[in-house]
Structure 1
Amino acid sequence: MERVGAERDLVLGYVHALNAIDAAMRVAIPSLERVADVLGLARSRRLSRRGHIGSYSYTVHGAGCRFVCDNGTEVDVDFAADGSEVFDLWRLRWFGLSLPEPLDVTDQDLRSAVWSLQPLLIEVRPGWFSVAN
C-alpha cells in the first residue's frame, strides 16, 4: 500500500475482511444469522470458543471474536447489544500490523481515515465505529 491514502485503504480492507468473514461463517454454519451469533453458540457450548471455520481460525472473547486468516491477517471485532459489529482504532491498527505487508499507522491518521469514510462508517459510541446499514 502506498502511504498516500494507506490509512483509508487499511480501514476499507478491515471492512472488506469483516464482510468476507461474515460470508464464510454463514456458509460454514447455515443457521447463523449474523457473525455475532457466534458468541451465543460459544456460550451455550454448541460451538467451541476456539476453532477453525473455512480459511479462518477464531477465538471468542468477552464481547467479540478474533479471526485469523490463513495468511496471518487478524481481524478482531466486538459486537454491540444489537449484534452489530463494532471496532475501535486499536483493532484497526492491529489489523494493519498483521497484514502480509504490515502497515503501522498512528491513531491520529486512523481517526482521520475513519472520519473520511463517513457516512459508510458511523461512530456508535466514543471511539467505537460500525459500518452503517
Structure 2
Amino acid sequence: MERVEAARDLVLGYVHALNEIDEAMRAAIPSLERLADVVGLARSRRISRSDHSGTYSYKVHGAGCRFMSDDGTEVDVDFAADGSEVFDLWRLRGYGLSLPEPLDVTDQELPSAVRSLQPLLIEVRPGWFGVAN
C-alpha cells in the first residue's frame, strides 16, 4: 500500500476508533451525554480519573483523555471548549504505533492524509483537527 494511503487509513481508523469509544463509554456510563463529559465527571469526582469501563480503560489528563482498548490500541484525544473531540498529528502517530500491527507514518505523510480527508476533517486551530459535523 502506498505510504500516503496507509496514513489516510490510519486517520480514518483513528476516527472510527473514536466513534466506537464514544458508543462504548456512553453504554458503560449512562450519565455521559458525549465523550467529553468523561473529563467533567472525573474533575467532579463522580468517576475516577482512570479506570476500566466496558471494553476500554481510560485516563483523564488536562483537556482530554487517553483510551486503551483490550488489544492495547491507544486513542488519545483532547476536547475543545464546546466538547468536540480534537486531535493533533502526535496523537494520530501514537495511535498508529499502538495498533496490533504498528503503523509508523512520517511527519510529511500525516498532514497530506489529513488534508486529503477534508471536508470530513476540519482544522480547528493550527495543527489541531476535528471531525466536521
Q: TM-score range by the shorter chain?
A: over 0.9
Cα distance in 2 for residues equivalent to 1:41 and 1:3: 42
Kindly, what percent of the aligned residue pairs are identical?
Answer: 81
Taking only aligned residues, the RMSD between alpha carbons, in angstroms, comes to 0.7
How far the C-alpha of 1:31 sits from its partner, in A, is 1.7
Equivalent residues, number: 132
Relative to the length of structure 2, the TM-score reads 0.97
AA aligned to 1:121 is L
Cα distance in 2 for residues equivalent to 1:72 and 1:64: 19
Cα distance in 2 for residues equivalent to 1:88 and 1:38: 20
Structure 2: tracts of 5 or more residues without a match:
none
AA aligned to 2:125 is R
How far the C-alpha of 1:30 sits from its partner, in A, is 1.5
Cα distance in 2 for residues equivalent to 1:66 and 1:15: 14
Aligned to 2:73: 73
Cα distance in 2 for residues equivalent to 1:91 and 1:85: 12
Structure 2 matches for 1:1-133, cutoff 5 A?
2-4=1-3, 5-133=5-133
- Name segments (4+ residues, structure 1) moved above 3 Å: none
DSSP-derived class of the 1:107 partner: coil
Relative to the length of structure 1, the TM-score reads 0.97
AA aligned to 2:44 is S
Structure 1: tracts of 5 or more residues without a match:
none
Q: Which one scores higher on RCO, CA 8 angstroms, separation ≥ 6?
A: 2
